[in-house]
Amino acid sequence: MLIKLITYTMFISILKGWKMSREQRRRFVPIPESLIDEAMKVSERVGIPYLVLIEKILEANLRIMKYKPTILKAILIADSIDDLRRTGSAILPWSFVKRFLDEVSEDEFNKLLGEVEKTCIWFGELMRVKHGSSPGIFEVGLSTLISSALIDTIEEGDGSYRYVVSFMNQSQRVLRLAETIASSLAKGFHLNIIEVRRGENTVSIRVSGFFEKE
């Protein structure tokens, strides 16, 4: 409580316009009280001093930003992978996945698509609840589920967005799997699926109904 009072008083003083030298300003950064409360709850839960927790968070995020400027996307993907693990999903080498998809029987492949559909719908609902419903969040979901593909987002201008998932020389089963993932994720986000196309090495899905814009 004492730390919170000192921190809060310090930030209020800054907002009131204290005149400080450049060195002083480098040490005082205004932060909303709600974030301070949340950070203190986390520090108590994990058993790390509040100030140490803040320092570790900054250190870790700055390290990420050196190599990946879109820090929000990096954090969301890391959080999403953790959510997928809770469903019993596993991360496997892409070469193994491709070989498995090509060798499994059609009946087993259809069963796999059914399990993937259920997992992706649940994952989409969880992402929507945790992070909101926006074109960028949906793209993060696709990137998490289909990390080996290139994903482009195109704003159509009528409130809808087209997501194009591109592969390099993949089998039709890989494309069917990608189509199931994209469609099921859209269902989990409660989006309107306008169109789904499967090309030679691409899958595109056009959706609308996002609650938020970028």
Task: Return the CATH number of the domain spanning residue range 71-208.
Answer: 3.30.1380
Where does the chain have alpha helices with state H? 2-15, 22-25, 33-46, 50-67, 71-86, 94-103, 106-131, 135-145, 172-188
Give the mean pLDDT of the chain: 81
pLDDT 10s digits, 13-52: 544 444 445 455 556 677 788 888 888 888 888 888 878 8
Confidence of residue 67 (pLDDT cuts 50, 70, 90): low
In 3D space, the residue among 166, 167, 156 whose CA is nearest the CA of residue 206 turns out to be 156
Residue given tokens 């195109």 in the structure block? 154
Q: How confident is the model over 56-65, as a mean pLDDT? A: 71
Enter the tokens of residue 104: 């499994």
Express each pLDDT in 184-208 by its tens digit: 999 999 999 999 999 889 999 999 9
The arithmetic mean of pLDDT across residues 84-105, rounded, is: 82
Which residue reads 């306008």 in tokens?
A: 194
CA gap 15, 29 in Å, rounded: 10
Per residue in 169-187, pLDDT (tens digit) is 888 999 999 999 999 999 9
Residue extents of the structural domains in the chain: 2-67, 71-208
> What's the rounded Cα separation, in Å, for the pair 163 and 122?
20
Amino acid 98: pLDDT: 85
The larger pLDDT score, comparing residue 162 to residue 212, is at: 162
